[in-house]
């Protein structure tokens, strides 16, 4: 007779406005249920948790995304107390394992959640495992938390299967691969890393774990029922503000294997059919870091496969991966929107500090392509890097003035553990290794730098879109709007209203009209030259 599986409760600390459904938890649930275990989830996304992060709303406030209304789909915050609901779920479900999946910026909220179930853990002697990118790259911080017994470094699919089996059989789990194990407050084992998971062996993700509200996300001002699709895991590029280089280095050092993998397209196709015909998907998003990091053969196979799905979809990729051929082909099968990472407008800074090698003139040329085929796109930028100055940040503004995007964002640089620039920040004495980045990319910076102060970073982010879109003869007013005093706030609100009326794309607008209607107010500048070369490191 087969033994009864155990009960696993996933804890997901998250805040309203960060609406992306976590595919990893959905995948873990499917895997564990296949093994005969029960799975439940406590997700704080739609609770008021006193954790001041609402990234989408902040982007909307700054005019970085088309305004949307979640209530238009009947989606609203829970009115009950999250602490009461958590304790009720734990008391009724009686889990055998608590699994905390947590990003670094949500770590303080994750600890709050754990402390609310401290008594249940202690009274029932059940283990808590923590996983995710933060656990992978800062295990020494995570393991110090008194309520954490196991820290998973790297991928968790096989770890969770092995751990649940050992708990089910009442076996010792101290030899669990990929994990640091703690007992009686002391680390007793740091186990080696196993090979990267075979992503083709994974089952379809389990969406039933999530409340209906979590299936909806805004895109271009409209709230859709939207599902995540995995085609690629990892990224072949080496951007120094991203964790992908360290993730790949980590696996190559430990196992000799690359972290970068691609899923078989027939498996992707099964996901797509399931989402569309069984779950009523209205829109799909592919969560590959660089969607077009595929071969021509793979690209052609994807287009052929997706031509049968006929749902609008979103991808993220780099400017250097697009051309007329691939955008036209994707547009023909449903591509609605692309997000491009440009990050910074100064070529030398981008190359030396960020590890991005493409030239501005090539970026501008490539980003003329999407609108030719009716594809909308956004440009993502970052400011507040080490070595950056406010003057250098204005190179990012200048570059964006030459790009006719549907919307452009600028985010605060956050030195997360596991990114190459985190080490730079520590070497410069701007952060200690044990310091946790408690902010997200839409928050104020945690870095206090003499050459680019927190106030200056805030000023650039506050007025970025105004500098990009308004004619240069309005810059004196925008300069005043950088300040949050009475006069500055008044001017800011007036300019913001004007920006929304004149420059914010309307819902369902045809992007092919954007270049035609766009009035380029800035003086033409030679983007090949670097006017701030004297400021380089």
pLDDT of the residue at 509: 64
User: CB-hemisphere CA count at 13 Å for 296?
Assistant: 2
Q: Are residues 434 and 296 in the same domain?
A: yes
Q: Is residue 218 part of a domain?
A: no
Q: Is residue 429 part of a domain?
A: yes
Domain boundary among 158, 190, 222: 190
Q: What is the DSSP letter of 38?
A: E
Q: Are residues 180 and 243 in the same domain?
A: no
Identify which of 296-300, 516-520, 526-530 has the greatest average pLDDT.
296-300
What are the residues whose beta carbons fall under 8 Å from the beta carbon of 368, sequence distance 6 or more?
404, 515
Q: Are residues 185 and 241 in the same domain?
A: no
CB 297 within 8 A of CB 262: no
- The rounded distance, in Å, linking the Cα atoms of 53 and 47 is 12
Q: Are residues 255 and 135 in the same domain?
A: no
Phi, psi angle pair for 191, to nearest 5°:
-80, 150
pLDDT of the residue at 58: 59
Domain boundary among 142, 163, 190: 190
Name the least confident of 274-278, 323-327, 500-504.
Answer: 500-504
Q: Are residues 260 and 334 in the same domain?
A: yes
* Structural domains of the chain, count: 2
% of the chain surpassing 90 pLDDT: 82
Flag whether pLDDT at 297 surpasses 50: yes
Flag whether pLDDT at 218 surpasses 60: yes
Q: Is residue 467 part of a domain?
A: yes
Q: Is residue 157 part of a domain?
A: yes
CA distances from 284 to 178, 218, 281, 313 (A): 32, 12, 7, 5
pLDDT digits (tens, 9 = 90+) for 183-205: 999 999 999 999 999 999 999 99
Flag whether pLDDT at 130 surpasses 50: yes
Place of tokens 């294997």: 257
- Which pLDDT band, with edges at 50, 70 and 90, does 520 fall under? very low
pLDDT of the residue at 523: 42
% of the chain surpassing 70 pLDDT: 90
Domain span including residue 448:
230-535
- The rounded distance, in Å, linking the Cα atoms of 21 and 39 is 17
3-state helix, strand, coil in the chain (%, to 5): 40, 15, 40
pLDDT of the residue at 61: 65
Q: Are residues 176 and 247 in the same domain?
A: no
Dihedral angle over CA of 273, 279, 283, 284, nearest 10: -60
- The rounded distance, in Å, linking the Cα atoms of 480 and 474 is 10
- The rounded distance, in Å, linking the Cα atoms of 243 and 377 is 24
Q: Are residues 316 and 167 in the same domain?
A: no
Q: Are residues 234 and 165 in the same domain?
A: no
Q: Is residue 66 part of a domain?
A: yes
Flag whether pLDDT at 525 surpasses 50: no
What mean pLDDT is predicted for residues 477-490?
Answer: 96
Q: Are residues 149 and 293 in the same domain?
A: no
Residue 131: its H or E element: strand 128-131
Q: Is residue 203 part of a domain?
A: no
What are the residues whose beta carbons fall under 8 Å from the beta carbon of 534, sequence distance 6 or more?
none
Q: What is the DSSP letter of 208?
A: G
CB 152 within 8 A of CB 159: yes
pLDDT of the residue at 535: 37
DSSP reduced 3-state for 347: helix
Phi, psi angle pair for 40, to nearest 5°:
-130, 165
Flag whether pLDDT at 415 surpasses 60: yes
- The rounded distance, in Å, linking the Cα atoms of 501 and 18 is 26
Q: Are residues 313 and 399 in the same domain?
A: yes
Relative orientation angle of helices 390-401 and 454-469, to the nearest 10 degrees? 20
Q: Are residues 235 and 179 in the same domain?
A: no
Phi, psi angle pair for 214, to nearest 5°:
-75, -5
Name the least confident of 49-53, 87-91, 177-181, 371-375.
Answer: 49-53
Joined together, the tokens standing for residue 498 give 């004007």
Q: What is the CATH number of the domain that holds 84?
A: 3.40.50.280
pLDDT of the residue at 63: 62
What mean pLDDT is predicted for residues 95-112?
Answer: 95
Place of tokens 């704080």: 44
CA distances from 509 to 70, 283, 315 (A): 20, 17, 19
Q: What is the CATH number of the domain that holds 401?
A: 3.80.30.20
Q: Are residues 180 and 242 in the same domain?
A: no
Flag whether pLDDT at 529 surpasses 90: no
- The rounded distance, in Å, linking the Cα atoms of 379 and 341 is 6
Q: Is residue 452 part of a domain?
A: yes
Q: Is residue 445 part of a domain?
A: yes
Average pLDDT across the chain, whole number? 91
């Amino acid at each position: 007779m087969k033994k009864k599986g155990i009960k696993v409760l996933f804890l997901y600390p998250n805040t309203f406005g960060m609406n992306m459904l976590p595919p990893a938890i959905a995948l873990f649930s499917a895997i564990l249920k296949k093994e005969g275990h029960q799975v439940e989830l406590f997700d704080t996304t739609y609770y008021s948790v006193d954790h001041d992060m609402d990234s989408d709303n902040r982007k909307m406030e700054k005019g970085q995304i088309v305004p949307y209304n979640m209530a238009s789909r009947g989606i609203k915050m829970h009115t009950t107390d999250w602490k009461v609901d958590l304790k009720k779920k734990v008391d009724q479900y009686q889990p055998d394992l608590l699994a905390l999946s947590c990003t670094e910026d949500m770590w303080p909220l994750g600890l709050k959640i754990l402390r609310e179930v401290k008594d249940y853990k202690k009274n029932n002697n059940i283990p808590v495992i923590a996983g995710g990118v933060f656990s992978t790259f800062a295990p020494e911080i995570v393991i110090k938390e008194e309520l954490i017994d196991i820290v998973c470094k790297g991928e968790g699919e096989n770890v969770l299967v092995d751990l649940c089996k050992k708990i089910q059989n009442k076996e010792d789990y101290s030899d669990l691969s990929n994990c640091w194990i703690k007992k009686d407050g002391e680390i007793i084992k740091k186990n080696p890393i196993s090979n990267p998971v075979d992503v083709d062996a994974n089952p379809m993700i389990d969406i039933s774990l999530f409340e209906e509200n979590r299936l909806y996300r805004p895109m271009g001002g409209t709230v859709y029922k939207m599902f995540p699709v995995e085609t690629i895991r990892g990224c072949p590029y080496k951007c120094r503000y991203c964790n992908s280089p360290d993730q790949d280095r980590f696996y190559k050092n430990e196992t000799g294997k690359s972290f970068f993998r691609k899923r078989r397209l027939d498996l992707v196709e099964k996901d797509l059919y399931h989402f569309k015909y069984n779950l009523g998907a209205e829109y799909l998003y592919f969560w590959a870091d660089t969607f077009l990091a595929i071969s021509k053969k793979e690209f052609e196979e994807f287009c052929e496969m997706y031509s049968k799905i006929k749902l609008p979809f979103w991808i993220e990729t780099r400017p250097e991966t697009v051309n007329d051929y691939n955008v036209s082909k994707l547009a023909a099968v449903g591509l609605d929107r692309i997000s491009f990472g440009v990050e910074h407008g100064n070529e030398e800074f981008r190359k030396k500090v960020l590890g991005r090698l493409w030239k501005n003139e090539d970026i501008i040329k490539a980003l003329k392509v999407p609108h030719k085929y009716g594809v909308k796109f956004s440009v993502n930028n970052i400011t507040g890097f080490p070595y950056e100055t406010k003057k250098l940040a204005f190179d990012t503004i200048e570059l964006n003035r030459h790009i006719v995007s549907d919307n452009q964002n600028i985010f605060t640089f956050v030195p997360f553990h596991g990114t190459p620039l985190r080490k730079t920040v520590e070497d410069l004495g701007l952060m200690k290794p044990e310091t946790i980045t408690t902010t997200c990319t839409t928050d104020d910076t945690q870095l206090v730098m003499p050459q680019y102060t927190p106030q200056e970073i805030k000023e650039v982010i506050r007025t970025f879109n105004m500098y990009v879109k308004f004619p240069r003869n309005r810059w004196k007013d925008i300069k005043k709007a950088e300040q949050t005093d009475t006069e500055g706030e008044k001017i800011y609100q007036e300019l913001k209203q004007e920006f929304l009326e004149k420059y914010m794309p309307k819902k369902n607008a045809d992007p092919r009209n954007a270049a035609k209607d766009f009035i380029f107010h800035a003086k033409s500048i030679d983007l090949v030259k670097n006017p701030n070369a004297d400021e380089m490191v």
